[in-house]
């Protein structure tokens, strides 16, 4: 198993607002990519989401931890997808920052 890809995204929203935006953002992602991603598991425990899904016939797992000033995304990519780790990390950082910008 490969080591987790970890992205920490700072925010100024507070835990509740950031958590709400993450919930909404994940719902949009599920809807937008429903044809390409099959969600196997997504369990919220407090401000932590543990997830597992398949993409390109590969299982991806990880977690999202929402804190007062940061959101930390940890993703374990299977070997086949690990070649995309840097692109995946940049995409998570970019989309996460957009999701958590103060509006």
Tokens read off for 76: 């374990």
Any domain includes 50: yes
Any domain includes 49: yes
Tokens read off for 29: 């992602």
Any domain includes 103: no
Any domain includes 58: yes
Contact 97, 18 (CB under 8 A): no
pLDDT in tens, 20-71: 999 999 999 889 988 988 999 999 999 999 999 998 888 999 999 999 999 9
The secondary element (H helix, E strand) that includes residue 89 is: helix 85-100
Which residues form the domain of 48?
A: 5-97
**Roughly how many angstroms between the first and final C-alpha of the chain, as a whole number?**
39
> Structural domain tally of the chain?
1
Eight-state DSSP code of residue 17 = H
Any domain includes 29: yes
Any domain includes 102: no
Which CATH number belongs to the domain containing residue 54 in this structure? Answer: 3.30.310
pLDDT in tens, 63-88: 999 999 999 999 999 888 888 888 99
CA distance 62 to 22: 15
Going through the chain in order, the beta strands assigned E by DSSP cover 5-10, 37-45, 48-55, 58-66, 70-76
């Amino acid at each position: 198993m490969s080591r987790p890809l970890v992205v920490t995204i700072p925010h100024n929203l507070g835990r509740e607002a950031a958590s709400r935006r993450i919930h909404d953002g994940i719902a949009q992602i599920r809807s937008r990519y429903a044809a390409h991603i099959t969600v196997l598991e997504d369990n919220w425990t407090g401000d932590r989401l543990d997830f597992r899904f398949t993409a390109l016939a590969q299982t991806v797992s990880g977690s999202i931890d929402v804190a007062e000033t940061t959101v930390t995304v940890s993703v374990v990519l299977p070997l086949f997808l690990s070649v995309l780790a840097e692109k995946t990390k940049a995409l998570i950082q970019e989309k996460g920052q957009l999701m958590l910008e103060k509006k």
